[in-house]
Amino acid sequence: MTNAFPPHGSSTSREFYLTAPAACPYLPGQQERKVFTFLGGEGATALNGTLSQRGFRRSQNIAYLPACERCSACKPVRIRAAEFDERPWRRVLKRNRDLTRRTKPAKITTEQFSVLRGYLDARHAGGGMAGMTVLDYAQMVEQTPVATELHEYRDPHGQLVACALTDRLEDGFSMVYSFFEPDEAARSLGTYMIAEHVLQAQADGLPYVYLGYWVEGSEKMGYKRRFSPLEVLTRRGWAAIE
């Protein structure tokens, strides 16, 4: 599949492709298809931002969007940072106020991979990433043609307890993937990293934090609905979820 889909301010068209049907990882009995394009070159960061505004997600050097024939359950969502209601998350934020965030270039470490492997084994043993090797992790993190950061969260002893792979867009943060030390479950680190990204977006004057896809009825994706104010991408553009 090909199409002309130029980024803002560009006269260059781009090739888009359609994947073959595959089993849906979120809804049993459903099949998924994706439309995708390759990111690269001087305008990759700007294009990634434009496509994010249109519901695409990034994986390494590919931007993709669900294009399922009989299902439209995957809804792109983002948090409006300036209006974020911090009150429901005060306990989580207080619980983790001893953590220090370090923003680093998109380069892996063995310490990160160790935390990732523990996270996958404890939380996603039967998932598609269960067999991830250090080489796979390096490709996920380092094969990026856009402005990508690693946010490390460390306890007072300097121990790495969580990490978020994040794209910095012109209008916000796009959280690509995050993981945490499973032995620190009491900290609610997955929730904390989202809330902390929103507060950082506020501090940086960025309007949005993109969370990827929310799938109603999917236990894996249900947590995203708890954040407010949340916007969903509809056929008429971004709209608030009441």
- Whether a cis peptide bond, with omega within 30° of 0, leads into 229 is yes
pLDDT digits (tens, 9 = 90+) for 131-144: 899 999 999 999 99
d(CA 199, CA 150): 17
- Domains of the chain plus CATH, in order, are 17-76 (no CATH), 78-240 (3.40.630.30)
pLDDT digits (tens, 9 = 90+) for 193-233: 999 999 999 999 999 999 999 988 777 777 888 999 999 99
Cβ pair 145, 41 in contact under 8 A: yes
Cβ pair 204, 171 in contact under 8 A: no
Instruction: Read off the pTM.
Output: 0.90
pLDDT digits (tens, 9 = 90+) for 78-99: 999 999 988 999 999 999 999 9
